[in-house]
């Protein structure tokens, strides 16, 4: 067994295939029989001698550590754990209680700082967001304590972006804490409550009751006549409807999913593409991407792939934030796998990795899909090399 739990024989077989060597060719280079190689790959024969492992690694042109599964994966996993620990520490620091008195950052400057962190997040520069969040959370807590009204927007937005990043990292408990703090700070302002509810929906997408919370927040700010609604409110309302639709899809409620997305689409037409009101990226293209994700959740891979192809041909596709596009490409790769098309799954994964490496390399969802694609013998060599470098095969 290799260090990551993958049988070493299976790893030998994978690497041999990637090197385009037959069992006989590998056997000849090792001075062994084809039967010996076959038994190793099937796990019938164990590899116990270090010298033999080194010989195989040399023929396959990899390090022995790679053959044993002890290379990149621990580093990537550890890096993600460190990111989560840093943010968790910031959430539990309670700077206004524990720290000695410190200058309070003026609200206008604080809002610029929050905006900068949101921009870094939407450009998928997640390591930079991790670096900036601890200080930002400390500053917004002090500002909120000094003047809860003036500092409210900064507090809500800082905790929203914190929750959004933690959802990426699948750190559910601290993500829920951040979303809850955003909701608490937003109390009394329907628009801010709706904005905070967007992240709450992302955190609690697996809970059926979340749909009612999202719909309550959406309809609380929905204009009585969509045609005269303000673009920001329509964007928040439509985004919450999309979130509720994805919850419904995960629960297997196809009818509710369609109805909610249709309602969101009506609002999206009024907002148009190319806008980012309240950091939602909401518009017609965003709704089409949500239809793709919903189809995937409902198990209809063919529908998801068709939706993906249509949505990415729209002019609005290039206007979406990098983070939004990369996250969708991971959903699209999963949909291609549902249709037994590892080639296109690999293609969209590599596209995601090119614009947002963190989405594929550290985000658990991206790593899981990458590992699935790489295990398919029909997957392109580039995917196998990427997966191997991350210790996923």
Report residue 20's pLDDT band, with 50, 70 and 90 as the boundaries: confident
- The CATH number of residue 118's host domain is 1.25.40
Same domain for 199 and 87, yes or no, is yes
* pLDDT at residue 73 in the model: 45
Nearest to 384 by CA among 1, 9, 17: 17
Same domain for 189 and 300, yes or no, is no
Residue 325 lies in a domain: yes
Q: What is the count of structural domains for the chain?
A: 4
Same domain for 150 and 261, yes or no, is no
Residue 224 lies in a domain: yes
Same domain for 390 and 346, yes or no, is yes
Q: Which of 68, 97, 116 is the last residue of a domain?
A: 68
Same domain for 289 and 386, yes or no, is no
Range name among 181-185, 328-332, 347-351, 384-388 with the lowest pLDDT average: 384-388
Q: Which of 43, 68, 93 is the last residue of a domain?
A: 68
Same domain for 235 and 133, yes or no, is no
* pLDDT at residue 74 in the model: 47
Per the prediction, the chain carries an average pLDDT of: 88
Same domain for 149 and 225, yes or no, is no
Same domain for 148 and 227, yes or no, is no
Residue 1 lies in a domain: no
Same domain for 94 and 183, yes or no, is yes
Read off the pTM. Answer: 0.80
Residue 314 lies in a domain: no
* pLDDT at residue 70 in the model: 57
291 lies in which domain range?
205-305
Residue 257 lies in a domain: yes
Report residue 5's pLDDT band, with 50, 70 and 90 as the boundaries: low
Sequential DSSP letters for 66-114: HHHT-SHHHHHHHHHHHHHHHHHHHHT--HHHHSPP-PPPPHHHHHHHH
Same domain for 89 and 193, yes or no, is yes
In the three-class reduction of DSSP (H, G, I as helix; E, B as strand; rest coil), residue 33 is classed as: coil
Same domain for 209 and 199, yes or no, is no
**Cα distances (angstroms) measured from residue 33 to each of 46, 53, 354:** 15, 16, 42
Same domain for 140 and 179, yes or no, is yes
Range name among 51-55, 77-81, 195-199, 378-382 with the lowest pLDDT average: 77-81
Phi and psi at residue 152, to the nearest 5° = -60, -50
Residue 175 lies in a domain: yes
Nearest to 87 by CA among 145, 153, 136: 136
Residue 315 lies in a domain: no
Q: Which of 157, 185, 203 is the last residue of a domain?
A: 203
């Amino acid at each position: 067994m290799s260090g990551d739990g993958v049988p070493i024989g299976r790893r030998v077989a994978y690497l041999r295939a990637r090197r385009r060597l037959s069992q006989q060719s590998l056997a000849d280079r090792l001075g062994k029989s084809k039967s010996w190689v076959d038994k190793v790959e099937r796990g019938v024969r164990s590899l116990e001698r270090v010298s033999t492992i080194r010989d195989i690694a040399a023929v396959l042109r990899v390090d022995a550590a790679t053959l044993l599964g002890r290379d990149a994966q621990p580093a990537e996993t550890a890096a993600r754990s460190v990111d989560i620990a840093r943010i968790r520490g910031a959430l539990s620091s309670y700077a206004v209680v524990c720290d000695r008195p410190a200058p309070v950052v003026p609200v206008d400057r604080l809002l610029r700082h929050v905006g900068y962190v949101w921009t870094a997040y939407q450009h998928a520069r997640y390591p930079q967001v991790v670096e900036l969040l601890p200080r930002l959370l400390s500053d917004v807590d002090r500002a909120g304590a000094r003047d809860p009204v003036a500092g409210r927007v900064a507090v809500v937005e800082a905790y929203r972006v914190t929750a959004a990043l933690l959802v990426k990292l699948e750190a559910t408990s601290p993500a829920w804490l951040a979303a809850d703090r955003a909701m608490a700070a937003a109390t009394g302002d329907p628009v801010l409550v709706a904005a905070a509810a967007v992240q709450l929906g992302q955190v609690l997408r697996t809970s059926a009751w979340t749909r009612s919370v999202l719909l309550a927040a959406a309809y609380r700010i929905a204009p009585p006549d969509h045609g005269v609604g303000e673009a920001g409110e329509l964007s928040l309302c439509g985004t919450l409807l999309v979130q509720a639709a994805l919850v419904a899809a995960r629960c297997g409620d196809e009818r509710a999913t369609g109805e909610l997305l249709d309602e969101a689409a009506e609002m999206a037409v009024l907002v148009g593409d190319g806008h980012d009101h309240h950091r939602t990226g909401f518009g017609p293209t965003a709704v089409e991407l949500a239809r793709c994700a919903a189809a995937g959740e409902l198990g209809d891979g063919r529908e998801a792939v068709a939706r993906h192809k249509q949505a990415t041909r729209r002019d609005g596709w290039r206007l979406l934030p990098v983070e939004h596009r990369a996250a969708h490409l991971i959903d699209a790769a999963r949909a291609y796998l549902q249709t037994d098309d590892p080639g296109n799954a690999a293609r969209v994964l590599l596209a995601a990795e090119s614009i947002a490496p963190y989405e594929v390399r550290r985000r658990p969802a991206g790593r899981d899909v990458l590992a699935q694609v790489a295990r398919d013998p029909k997957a392109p060599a580039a995917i196998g090399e990427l997966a191997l470098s991350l210790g996923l095969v």
